[in-house]
Amino acid sequence: MAIDVLYFAWVREGVGTGQERVDPPAGTDTVAALIDWLATRSPGHAQALADRARLRAAVDQVFVGADASILGAREVAIFPPVTGG
């Protein structure tokens, strides 16, 4: 199940790329599980994804919580909280 993962703002800077296509292992079926797995991919991933409370996500362009399913998703975006201005 390949998924396009998009990173924004300081998450992108920490990971070192704005987008990557990944094939998570079996059992990686929620946003939280995906983030846990992504954090193992490199030291940059680990650092950028360390503070889960500061991360937000969207699955196929719909804002979701960490417990949301990613089964069948084509795209998951991970980003810091959005502020207005």
pLDDT at 65 over 90: yes
CATH number of 3-79: 3.10.20.30
Residue 36 backbone phi and psi in degrees, to 5: -60, -45
pLDDT at 81 over 90: no
* pLDDT tens track for 1-23: 799 999 999 999 999 999 999 99
Q: Which bin fits 20, alpha (ψ -120 to 50), beta or left (φ > 0)? A: beta
**What is the value of pTM for the model shown?**
0.93
* pLDDT tens track for 38-64: 999 999 999 999 999 999 999 999 999
Query: Would you kindly state where each structural domain of the chain is located, as residue ranges?
Result: 3-79
If one counts every other C-beta atom within 10 angstroms of the C-beta of residue 78, the result is 22
Q: Concatenated DSSP letters for 23-46?
A: -PPTT--BHHHHHHHHTTS-HHHH
